[in-house]
Chain A
Amino acid sequence: MSDPLLTASDIGIRRGERWIVRHVDLTVKRGDLVCVVGANGAGKSTCVKAVLGLIELTEGTVRHAPSLKIGYVPQRLTLGHTLPLTLRRLMTLTGRYPENDVAAALAAVGLERLGNPLVTTLSGGEFQRLLLARALIHRPDLLVLDEPGQGVDLAGAELLDELIDEIRADLGCGVLMISHDIKEAVARADDFVVLVPHEHDPGYLAGGADQQHSHGGSAH
Chain B
Amino acid sequence: MLDDFLFRALLAGIGLALVTGPAGCFIVWRRLAYFGETIAHSALLGVALAIIIDFNLTVGIFATACVIVLAMFYLERRDTLPTDTLLGLLAHGGLALGLVILSFFPDMRVDLQALLFGDILAVSRADLAVIWIGGALALGVLCLIWRALLAATVSPDLARVAGMNPERARLIFGIFLAAVIAAAIKVVGVLLIVALLVIPAATARRFATSPERMAVGAAAVGVVAVAGGLLASANFDTPSGPSIVVIALALFVVTRVRLVRGTESR
Contacts and interface: CB of A to CB of B under 8 A. Distances in A.
A74 B158 contact: yes
B210 A95 contact: no
Interface in A29-82: 49, 52-54, 70, 72, 74, 77, 79-80, 82
Interface string B207-239: 011110110000000000000000000000000
Nearest to A118: B209
B153 interface: yes
A83 B157 contact: no
A54 B161 CA distance: 8
A85 B154 contact: yes
A93 interface: yes
Contacts of A53: 160
B151 to A, nearest CB: 5
A84 interface: yes
A144 B155 CA distance: 15
Interface in A123-165: 144
A49 B157 contact: yes
Nearest to B156: A54
A220 B211 CA distance: 48
A72 B155 CA distance: 11
Interface residues of B, number: 24
Interface string B59-84: 00000000000000000000000000
A85 B157 contact: no
B154 A84 contact: no
Given A89-B211, A94-B147, A95-B162, A80 B29 contact: yes
A84 B150 CA distance: 11
B164 A94 contact: yes
Given A83-B211, A85-B210, A89-B210, A72 B164 contact: no
B205 interface: yes
Contacts of B31: 80
Contacts of B162: 94-95
A27 interface: no
**Which among B153, B158, B161 has the highest number of chain A CB atoms within 10 Å?**
B161
Given A79-B154, A93-B151, A94-B147, A72 B210 contact: no
A7 interface: no
B211 A85 contact: yes
A89 B153 CA distance: 14
Contacts of B86: none
B194 interface: no
B155 A74 contact: yes
**Which among A77, A82, A118 has the highest number of chain B CB atoms within 10 Å?**
A82
A86 interface: yes
Contact of A94 (B158, B211, B214): B158
B57 interface: no
B28 interface: yes
A83 B158 contact: no
B217 to A, nearest CB: 10
Interface of B: 28-29, 31, 147, 150-151, 153-155, 157-162, 164, 202, 205, 208-211, 213-214
Interface of A: 49, 52-54, 70, 72, 74, 77, 79-80, 82-86, 89-90, 93-95, 118, 144
Pairs A-B, 3 closest by C-beta atoms: A94-B162, A72-B161, A84-B208
